[in-house]
Amino acid sequence: MSLPNQLSLLRILLTPVFIVLLFMDTSVSRLFSMVVFTLASLTDWYDGYAARKLGDVSMWGKFLDPLADKILVSSGFICFCILGYITPWMVLIVVIRDFLITGLRSYAVIKRKPIATTMLAKVKTFSQIGVLYLIFIYHLFIAEGYQGGLWEKIQEFNIIFALMYIIIFLTIISGLLYIIGNRSHLRQMGCDIYHIFIPSDV
């Protein structure tokens, strides 16, 4: 397995580690949870860099890389939803959109017509990880009993919810652009699914 794909796989494997550490709910485990999440996030940047540097862009990598991203990011949002920082409907929109588009992109890879990542989708992913970091830091300080100052302002002005509305907007718009720009893939995928359940010789 190539280095970029190993890094994508590592990102998937690190995800349950950061979740377990986060819910162990001790000062040390919460801190290490953020460290593991940071390492996992860095593999997202480095596997793309390594693929370009080594000229090792494979069909398997085009499937595995976005899947690893979605697993990490969706897990982060689900965790913070459980902890009460994000409302469930927001997380539901993010998770459904990301895995639907990942399914579409995976289908395109199978058909050997991969879908390029749009700039808006990259901005969306960067923004999602940025918001997750903010919530992570906020959680670390609140869990340790720190009050007042910046942390009080974040709560007072509902900063996390305001940022999540931006995330939801980027999530929906980037998803719609994927669907509109890849209608042919979507139609073909629908036909293939139809023929699986209703064979042509019936």
Helix (H) / strand (E) containing 84: none
Summarised one tens digit per residue, pLDDT across range 174-192 is 989 888 888 777 777 777 7
Q: Give me 182's structure tokens.
A: 């890849």
Question: d(Cα 169, Cα 190) in Å, to the nearest integer?
Answer: 26
The answer to whether residue 201 scores a pLDDT higher than 60 is no
- Whether 78 and 95 have beta carbons less than 8 Å apart is answered as yes
Summarised one tens digit per residue, pLDDT across range 17-72 is 999 999 998 889 999 999 999 999 888 777 666 666 666 666 666 777 888 888 99
Question: d(Cα 80, Cα 129) in Å, to the nearest integer?
Answer: 13
Summarised one tens digit per residue, pLDDT across range 61-74 is 677 788 888 899 99
Tell me if residue 103 falls in helix, strand or coil.
Answer: helix
pLDDT confidence of 111, banded at 50, 70, 90? confident
Residue 47's CB: how many other CB atoms inside 10 A? 26
Comparing CA positions, the residue from 9, 116, 4 lying closest to residue 50 is 4
Q: What is the largest CA-CA distance in the chain?
A: 70
Q: What is the pLDDT of residue 49?
A: 64
pTM of the model: 0.85
Question: d(Cα 92, Cα 164) in Å, to the nearest integer?
Answer: 12
Please report where in the chains the tokens 């969706």 appear, as a residue: 74
Classify residue 117 as exposed, middle or buried by CB count within 10 Å of its CB (0-12, 13-18, 19+).
middle
Query: Hey, what domains does the chain have and what are their CATH numbers?
Result: 3-197 (1.20.120.1760)
Classify residue 21 as exposed, middle or buried by CB count within 10 Å of its CB (0-12, 13-18, 19+).
buried
Q: Give me 187's structure tokens.
A: 């139609």
pLDDT confidence of 1, banded at 50, 70, 90? low
Sign, CA torsion 122/13/60/76: negative
